[in-house]
Amino acid sequence: MANNIVLAVLLVAPLLVLVNGQEQKIGDYRGRFEREKCDLYEGRWVYDDSYPLYDSTQCRFIERPFACQRNGRPDKLYLKYRWQPSACNLPRFDGVEFLRRYRNKRIMFVGDSLSLNQWQSLTCMLHAATPHSHYTLQRMGPVRTFIFTEYNVSVMLTWNVFFVDIERKRYGRILKLDKLEDTKTWQGIDVLIFNSWHHWLHTGTKQLWDFIEDGKYIYKDMNRLVAYEKGLKTWARWVDESVDPGKTKIFFQGISPDHLNASHWGKHNGKNCSGERKPMFASPYPRRQHPAEVVLEKVLRSMSKPVQLLNVTGLSLRRKDAHPSVYGVGGHYGMDCSHWCLAGVPDTWNQLLYAHLTTHH
């Protein structure tokens, strides 16, 4: 999977794009889109007064860690930025068209709290498009299901941060890098969006395992990037052996960056994302790929079945302003520079998902 993913945009439905700030039917630009090959992930953040895509107060189901305005964040400029690809325009999200297209189907996010972040974004984007439509929100074990009953569309989330199995033994919890059996909830899903990385780094009380098993050997610990690659390869084998691309589309949410160190964007008197109000409009330094990006893309390139990478790392890296900071779950006693406010950056991730789902490439 190349670092710059190229999308040839071929149109199959009347969509809207923003051209010079004005919405136009995408069909009016059919020739341009069909001629050009556009990297949707290469671009910049631009101010757009029509943003955000929704009023987050319409979505009372957004959980506290992401509800920055409800939690008292006083500024709103961070809500007004739109991702603008360099060579084309990103299709404007059409929630009704999305629901019609996926009538009687199921979409599932699989991963950690950043998957929760993106899942809550998508459910709010769709709810805002059909605010008077009935919905149900269910939870059974690790699976949450948001059903738009008029369309019978299920947007689901299942908590699975490593993909590979964790087994409990009398001497502790074993993370088994070469074993993946708990896939029952993934079976028969029409669209799967996977995400895994941040929990591979956790230590101390946040670490969800006590030992790592790799083949015949058990370790107290190992290089986390090496463990991540081994776990991803096990997941990749499951996809290659078990998924029918004619029935299930597979996506992988790229590595979501944090902004815990302000010196990374040239602010040497700052500590983290606290008080940031604007994006980085240009990177202050040549961007090197995140080590986990390199591993993820290496594994995806090795696969025989198609998996579309949502390559969101670079565009998200510029949004130091869009984290909850003290307006998340911990209030002024906590600092969250890892997750994202809603409305916010995950809405763009879902616009990119929408672009891939609604175009042939």
* Strand 81-85 relative to strand 106-111, pairing: unpaired
- Sequence-ordered list of residues with C-beta below 8 angstroms from that of 130, at least 6 positions apart, any chain: 95, 96, 99, 148, 150
Dig out the tokens for 88 from the structure: 């084309």
Write the CA distances from 353 to 40, 72, 189, 290, integer angstroms.
11, 30, 16, 21
Instruction: List, by residue number, the catalytic residues.
Output: 113, 336, 339
In 3D, which of 109, 85, 112 has the Cα closest to residue 5? 85
Helix axes 224-242, 291-301, angle to 10 degrees: 30
DSSP bridge pairs for 214: 217
- Sequence-ordered list of residues with C-beta below 8 angstroms from that of 6, at least 6 positions apart, any chain: 37, 38, 39
